[in-house]
Copies of this chain bind each other. A is one copy, B any other.
Amino acid sequence: MTDTPAKARPRTRIQREKQDVILDAALNVFSTHGFRGATIDQIAEAAGMSKPNLLYYFTSKEEIHRRLLTGMLDLWLDPLRALDAEGDPMPELRSYIRRKLEMARDFPRESRLFANEMLQGAPHAIDVLEGELKTLVDDKAKVIESWMAEGKIRRTDPYHLIFSIWATTQHYADFDVQVRAVLGKDRGGDGRFEDAARFLEHLFMDGLRPAKG
């Protein structure tokens, strides 16, 4: 009786496959409409099955959302976890930025799911934010501070540095429509991520002030 209900863990091939299909469809819907704006019917149709059939695999709308959110949070924090205290500061930060930008490019739906959750005040994720996330950021902020103390990078606020990396990279997933609209047809194509990568490297390395001499 203390067992996890059958639906929580897939036991058959069909369960595994269908759950994946459902989660993928749900990610599409939740990431664009948010939790309250999404409907089970919508998800079911996108998954190519009837609503009651979908509810055979997940007990509720909330369960699907929870699964997506926890699943993506893990993925989401990988790049920051990879920031290596033993590595060379500037290349470490550069590759962190690059990796985060790649995530925005390759997992835009996950980024938007998270953004939706934040906009709503993180009702389902506040514990993770104040727990695991804060712990991880505190840890990496110390690493960055030690790099500053060694004079390897300029002295600033490590927390806001991390925020600025999150903001600038995720922007290309969350505000994709705006980015495309502003860049127009000619520059809004696939090349925009390389342009962004080049720009962000410039920005975070040297800022805007012209080099002297």
CB distance from A31 to the nearest CB of B (A): 7
> In the assembled complex, which residues on chain B have CB atoms less than 8 Å from the CB atom of A35?
37
Interface of A is mostly: helix
Of the candidates B33, B126, B179, the one whose C-beta lies within 8 Å of that of A163 is B179
Of the candidates B137, B151, B160, B171, the one whose C-beta lies within 8 Å of that of A196 is B160
Q: How many copies does the complex hold?
A: 2
**Is A129 part of the binding interface, using a Cβ–Cβ cutoff of 8 Å?**
yes
Of the candidates B171, B204, B210, the one whose C-beta lies within 8 Å of that of A203 is B204
Tell me the complex Cα distance, A175–B116, Å.
10
Of the candidates B115, B160, B164, the one whose C-beta lies within 8 Å of that of A174 is B115
CB distance from A34 to the nearest CB of B (A): 5
Given A151-B210, A156-B202, A208-B205: A126 and B36 within 8 A (CB)? Answer: no
Most buried by B among A35, A126, A208: A208
- Interface size of A by Cβ–Cβ distance < 8 Å? 68
**Contact across chains for B207 and A205 when beta carbons are under 8 A apart:** yes
> In the assembled complex, which residues on chain B have CB atoms less than 8 Å from the CB atom of A181?
122, 126, 129-130, 133-134
> In the assembled complex, which residues on chain B have CB atoms less than 8 Å from the CB atom of A129?
177-178, 181-182
Of the candidates B152, B162, B178, the one whose C-beta lies within 8 Å of that of A118 is B178
Given A115-B119, A161-B203, A207-B205: A182 and B34 within 8 A (CB)? Answer: no
> In the assembled complex, which residues on chain B have CB atoms less than 8 Å from the CB atom of A170?
167
**Contact across chains for A199 and B164 when beta carbons are under 8 A apart:** yes
**Contact across chains for A133 and B37 when beta carbons are under 8 A apart:** no
> In the assembled complex, which residues on chain B have CB atoms less than 8 Å from the CB atom of A156?
198-199, 202-203, 208
Of the candidates B116, B184, B198, B206, the one whose C-beta lies within 8 Å of that of A134 is B184
Could you pull out 24 A-B pairs where Cβ atoms are within 8 angstroms?
Answer: A34-B37, A37-B120, A90-B209, A115-B115, A118-B175, A118-B178, A119-B119, A122-B181, A126-B181, A134-B181, A137-B182, A154-B208, A156-B198, A164-B168, A164-B171, A168-B168, A202-B207, A203-B204, A203-B207, A205-B207, A205-B208, A206-B206, A206-B209, A207-B207
